[in-house]
Amino acid sequence: MSEGVALRLDKWLFFARVCKTRALAQKLIERGQITINGARVSKPSVAVRLSDTLVIVIGPVKRTLSVKDFGTRRGPAPEAKLLYDEPTPPQRLDRDAHGLPLHRPLLSRPKGSGRPTKKDRREIDKFLTEA
C-alpha cells in the first residue's frame, strides 16, 4: 500500500492505465464523464481516496472501478490492475447515454473538399445549436 492518504484523480487514472496520458484523463474529467461516489467531477485535482467508487464513461463503454491502492508510477498492466477492483464488467451504452468520444472528431468532412463555405458554416452552427 502507498503511504499517501489521497491522490489526484488525473494521476490515478494515468497510473491505473484507464487513460493513455494525463491530458486525456483531464479531458475526461472536464467533460463530466467521471463520477466519484455518485458525484460528478469537473476538476482533475479532485482527490481520490481508498474505497472510492468511480464510474467512468469512455465512448460507448461505462466502467465501474473501486480504488484499492494508489500508484507511484505508470507501470505494466498487471501492476496497474492491482490499483483497482472492477465489481461489474464494462457495460455498452446506447448512443444517447454516452458522452463525446475522445478519439473521433465532432464533425467530419470529405478529404479534399476544402474549407466550409459560409452556407456550410451556417448549417453547422444550426446543427450544433439544435443538438
Residue-level pLDDT at 126: 86
Within a domain: 124: no
Residue-level pLDDT at 3: 53
- Is residue 26 within 8 A of residue 32, CB to CB? The reply is no
Q: Which helix (H) or strand (E) holds 23?
A: helix 22-30
Within a domain: 119: no
Within a domain: 121: no
Which residues of the chain are modeled with pLDDT < 50?
A: 1-2, 102-103
Which residue has cell 492518504? 5
- Please report, for the domain that includes residue 31, its CATH number: 3.10.290.10
Range of 78's domain? 6-103
Statement: the pTM of the whole predicted model exceeds 0.85: no
Within a domain: 108: no
Within a domain: 47: yes
The tally of domains found in the chain comes to 1
Residue-level pLDDT at 92: 85
Residue-level pLDDT at 125: 86
- Give the C-alpha separation, 110 to 74, whole Å: 38
Within a domain: 83: yes
Within a domain: 29: yes
